[in-house]
Chains A and B, each alone.
Chain A
Amino acid sequence: GAGVSQSPSNKVTEKGKDVELRCDPISGHTALYWYRQSLGQGLEFLIYFQGNSAPDKSGLPSDRFSAERTGGSVSTLTIQRTQQEDSAVYLCASSLVLLAGGDTGELFFGEGSRLTVL
């Protein structure tokens, strides 16, 4: 597609259930990022992938959160045993180049997946 695609756009789940959020980055983009945005707040970095390198997981808030990126394209963010504080919009972004050493890298964001944990 032309842009970053995320699904589902909205997810309501019960506390304790597992959820999976999907991200289809822009074709050819080598870097993929997950951010979390709580209501009225800024963006909290979660994890990013670059090519075949080991992902930077430094932003994941707990071991209930995990993410994978298959074939260097589609990524899935999994939240196990969801808690109410996990409620937020989960944003995925991709970029053509990694933000390294002086390189610029505009991030293209998807519309996000809104997660509500009851």
Chain B
Amino acid sequence: SQTIHQWPATLVQPVGSPLSLECTVEGTSNPNLYWYRQAAGRGLQLLFYSVGIGQISSEVPQNLSASRPQDRQFILSSKKLLLSDSGFYLCAWRGRLNTEAFFGQGTRLTVV
């Protein structure tokens, strides 16, 4: 069965520090991978998606970047965090023939 792992679950980082959130998928190959952010009281905002290794598409300009070094690994990064980067970050995957997306448990990031 397919599973998705996202870590850490919570993170408190100072302004200006770097960020690295990791997401890995098991039990499937060549998935579409997504990074979302849910700010307080708001819906899901798509940040990045990837349809293959090394292929990253950004949906909104921001202080963040994403990378896909392996087929089932998706990393969200920042060189210098801003206060506005605080939020709940979600990784998700979809199979090529699937319609449903499956989400990780999320990372609560607080920038202080």
Instruction: Tell whether A pairs with B.
Output: no
